[in-house]
């Protein structure tokens, strides 16, 4: 088992939600240093621990990515958590919103992987952990642009997993169902907290699970998909048309 104890971790979108919880969970796991990055460095909470180093990082800005890279060359675990969600289906969805989801969730995460791969190859054994979504397996049409961006991200994750597999870099995909964060504001579903889920994600990473579905709601959906992809599609169809 390859634990996170004494590891140097970089987390994107660390100011709130799952990213913030992942910082706390990394502290609990005994990580040596955690680069907590966010678009607005002033929004990064005080974690009360000098193992946390706060840095400004918008993952769609390649200049900022390269500036951060210069300061974080000891990174051993890259957690690509930052993401956005615009509601809307394909036929009536705002094209700018669909483009923004793709820019952040897919292209932004790819830029991060391209920038950090060379140093992760030096700092082996190392890891990339990409937070995609359960909708990577089958689209939910009420969030169709987001679903497409996460399917694309999951595909890129599987590709990079193979590209790096002989280089000492393990690549994990995390595909949650529904977690209680700002992203799900207004939902009446009963959802687990991001603190709970962050600990489960890191436990599964430590045991070497490559594709991680950390929550019960997600697991229910994942099991339908595993039985037959059409079963998850039918479930999402019911959800979509029940509104």
Residues forming contacts to ligand NAP in the complex (CB under 6 A) are: 12-13, 15-19, 38-40, 43, 57-60, 81-85, 104, 108, 131, 133, 176, 178-179, 181-184, 194
Which is nearer to ligand NAP, 31 or 143 (by Cβ)? 143
> Of 64, 62, 65, 75, which is closest to residue 4 (Cα–Cα)?
75
Whether 24 contacts 53, CB under 8 Å: no
Smaller CB distance to ligand NAP: residue 1 or 189? 189
Q: Other CB atoms closer than 10 Å to residue 60's CB: what's the count?
A: 16
Pairing label, strands 33-38, 52-56 = parallel
Q: How far is the CB of 88 from ligand NAP (least distance, A)?
A: 15
What's the closest the beta carbon of residue 47 comes to ligand NAP, in angstroms?
14
Strand spans (E) along the chain = 8-11, 33-38, 52-56, 77-80, 126-131, 169-174, 211-212
Specify the residue, 26 or 183, whose C-beta has the smaller distance to ligand NAP: 183
| 171 CB-near residues (< 8 Å, 6+ apart) | 127, 128, 130, 157, 160, 161, 164, 165, 210
Least Å distance between CB 177 and ligand NAP? 7
Q: Rounded to the nearest whole angstrom, what is the least distance from the CB of residue 19 to ligand NAP in the complex?
A: 5
Distance (Å, whole) CA 113 – CA 160:
8
Q: Please, which residue, 168 or 195, has the CB nearer to ligand NAP?
A: 195
Task: Note whether 52 and 25 are within 8 A (CB).
Answer: no
Rounded least distance, CB 6 to ligand NAP, Å: 26
Residues forming a β-bridge with 128? 78, 171
Q: How far is the CB of 147 from ligand NAP (least distance, A)?
A: 11
Burial (CB < 10 A; 0-12, 13-18, 19+), residue 70, is exposed
């Amino acid at each position: 088992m390859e634990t996170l104890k004494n590891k140097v971790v970089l987390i994107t979108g660390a100011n709130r939600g799952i990213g913030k919880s992942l910082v706390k969970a990394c502290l609990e796991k005994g990580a040596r240093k955690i680069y907590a990055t966010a678009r607005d460095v002033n929004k990064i909470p005080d974690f009360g621990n000098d193992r946390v180093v706060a840095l400004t990082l918008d993952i769609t800005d390649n200049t900022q990515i390269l500036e951060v890279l210069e300061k974080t060359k000891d990174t051993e675990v890259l957690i690509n958590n930052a993401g956005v969600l615009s509601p809307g289906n394909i036929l009536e969805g705002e094209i700018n919103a669909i483009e923004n989801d793709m820019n952040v969730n897919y292209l932004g995460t790819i830029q991060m992987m391209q920038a950090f791969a060379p140093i992760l190859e030096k700092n082996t054994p190392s890891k990339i952990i990409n937070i995609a979504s359960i909708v990577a397996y089958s689209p939910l049409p009420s969030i169709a642009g987001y679903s497409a961006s996460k399917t694309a991200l999951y595909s890129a994750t599987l590709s990079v997993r193979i590209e790096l597999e002989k280089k000492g870099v393990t690549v994990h995909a995390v595909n949650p169902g529904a977690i209680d964060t700002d992203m799900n504001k207004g939902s009446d579903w009963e959802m687990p907290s991001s603190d709970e889920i962050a600990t489960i994600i890191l436990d599964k990473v430590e045991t070497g699970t490559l594709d991680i579905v950390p929550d019960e709601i997600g697991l229910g959906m994942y099991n339908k998909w595993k039985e037959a992809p059409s079963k998850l599609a039918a479930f999402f169809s019911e959800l979509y048309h029940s509104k």
